[in-house]
A and B are shown apart, each in its own frame.
Chain A
Amino acid sequence: MDAAVVAKDIKRTDLLQMYYYLRLTRTLEDRITALYRQGRIVGGVYTSNGMEAISVGYASALERDDIIAPFHRDMGAFLIRGITPGEVIAQYLGKRTGPTKGKDGNVHMGDLKRGIIGFVSHLADNLPVATGAALAFKLRGEARVVVTNTGDGGTSRGDFHEAMNFAAVRKLPVVFFCNNNQYAYSTPLLLQMAIRDVVERAKAYGMPGEIVDGNDVAAVYLVARQAIRKARAGEGPTFIECKTMRMHGHSEHDSAKYVPRELLEEWKKKDPILKAEQMLTQLGYGDKATFREIEERVQKEVEAGVEFAEQSPLPEGPEALEGVFASEDEVKP
């Protein structure tokens, strides 16, 4: 991203805020990985390591009343929408204080009060759901926008195509992100689709598409902001492909030996935190002391989160029976 453009279009405080969330996401997910390696977390651990700029970028471009339907590489968006590190760790530990009270694990968090539609493992399932939320806003004449995200693999699902098509036909206020991190579990892009850029899929639906450097938080933020503005103005959906690389395995149990080491080495140089620091330094928005200060702050927040989660109670067995059906008083008349 050209520094002059960033200087003109993004406020210093906003960019520093994004940097803070990049660091918080990285530190939190590293800490969760450490807990997993110590055997303190049961179940899978899915991180956005090396891809933090995507969800931090798009979530920073949203208004308070907007809605996100994130996927499992979007920890930054959860944090920006107000899920605390303590709640995330509690969720991983299956504690009652996690957003799902132990009913679901890891990144399967949702909370409508904070504008988050809960993630479903079946990739792309939440894309039609996102179009429906956008349809509700359109029906009621509300200037609200939905942002959703899926991976390169998720774009092979029928639900991706059904959602893209419906959103385009009805010009719904929704922005579709695609985290193209080159691998869907172990399947490389060339075995996933016969096109080089996922963005080509958008053409089939008459939807504008953009490619952006997914490791550049400023670039993601600007392209997201533009698409969100368009959606809010009633100009319909946009598809945004973020080029990035999954630096860890699909889940932390996966050593990802199928990924060539040279590829990872190459992408390491393009680390989103490194890039953000370079940009902040170049613009004179921050220096090593600023970065250290933020690092210390997020360390403290994450450790406080670990403490909160570890001290939180586990649910009682019979709570498994609660909540299958909603009661009338939960739905506003």
Chain B
Amino acid sequence: MTTTAAGREVTYLEAISEALDEEMSRDERVFLMGEDIGPYGGAFRITEGFQKKYGEWRVLDTPLAESGFVGAAIGAAMMGMRPVVEMQFADFISCAFDQITEVAAKNHYRWGAAVPMVIRAPFGGGVHGGPFHSECPEGWFFHSPGLKLVAPSTPYDAKGLLKAAIRDPNPVIYFEHKFLYRRIKAVLPTEDYIVPIGKAEVKRAGTDISVITYGAMVHLALEAAEVLTKEGINLEVVDLRTLMPLDKETVFESVRKTSKAIILHEDNKTGGIGAEVASLLAEECFDCLDGPILRIAAPDTPVPFSTPLEEFFLPKASDVLAAARKLASY
């Protein structure tokens, strides 16, 4: 992760705001749509002050109608604009599912119309949100050709990936993790930069086991890695950053080095992105595996509300420790 001392320390949330602000200043085609993003500044205050700076048409409060405003973003994108729409919570993206998967995802394939737009989707649990404010819906869209999906884990990546998403000629769903909003900080470069879509990053180099993960789980893996160092187990943490298109090369390279893989995500286990990564490893890295491919993910239930239930539901550092110890014995 690159940082320079010249920059200001910002939270993950501020990094997202900065990316939006800078892209709106840089490119007048960029505009924002969503619920309560105007004078209120959005449910998480990402767009606080934006309407004052850019006016009520470039920071457009919409009616409560996700399908309607995602469809409108598609139309505006096809006419040469660069809309960024905010889902108040990623969970509500289900209301716009049809527009995303049938219109945005298929237009270019069907008749050559590019749809350069971004959907920001605040996702993930650990914030006492319950079944409708904690979901990880990335798996639904992973299976829809034509969409790009990104999920940053750090302020640096949050800013760089959002800028890359806005500049991309395709529909990009940007999964920002709510749990990380105000919990992590970093000093960011003052100059303009992007994090290219389609590039994973090794967040911690190691030799014994690859943990392939993304989003808030990256921090869980890093935490576990520190503990395991004392036991002589050296984890490599691969942050996918982009979920679609997957950076297979970086994943394969890591696993070819360590010969062991744990796939960790917060989404439900069955049919999740981890299942695809595991299949790819079985197909492409079978010869170099020294143990079973292990998956750590949430159980196949909705995200429960009550604290003990949610704590049980979410993957924990102890799960990573147990999986790593098991794999180390092979």
Contacts and interface: CB of A to CB of B under 8 A. Distances in A.
Nearest to B68: A162
A122 B98 CA distance: 9
Nearest to A327: B169
Nearest to A131: B72
B170 A326 contact: yes
A129 B146 contact: no
A67 B111 contact: no
A108 B110 contact: yes
A67 B60 CA distance: 23
B107 interface: yes
B304 interface: no
Contacts, number: 152
A139 B57 CA distance: 7
Contacts of A109: 111
B315 interface: no
Contacts of A100: 110-112
Interface string B119-146: 0000000000000000000000000011
Interface in B27-73: 31, 57-58, 60, 62-63, 65, 67-73
B271 interface: no
Given A125-B102, A129-B103, A139 B108 contact: no
B118 interface: no
Contacts of B80: 136, 331-332
Contacts of A128: 67-72, 74-75, 99
Nearest to A330: B114
Contact of B111 (A118, A135, A139, A328): A118
A163 interface: yes
14 contacts: A108-B110, A117-B113, A122-B98, A128-B99, A129-B71, A129-B72, A131-B75, A132-B72, A132-B73, A132-B74, A133-B75, A326-B108, A328-B168, A331-B80
Given A125-B71, A132-B73, A67 B107 contact: no
A17 interface: no
B77 interface: yes
Contacts of A117: 75, 78, 113
B72 A166 contact: yes
Contact of B108 (A126, A324, A328): A324
Interface in A89-148: 99-100, 103-104, 108-112, 117-118, 120, 122, 125-139, 146
A326 B69 contact: no
Given A118-B107, A125-B102, A325-B108, A159 B73 contact: no
Nearest to B69: A166
Interface string A193-221: 00000000000000000000000000000
B227 interface: no
B79 A163 contact: no
Contact of B81 (A139, A158, A323): A139
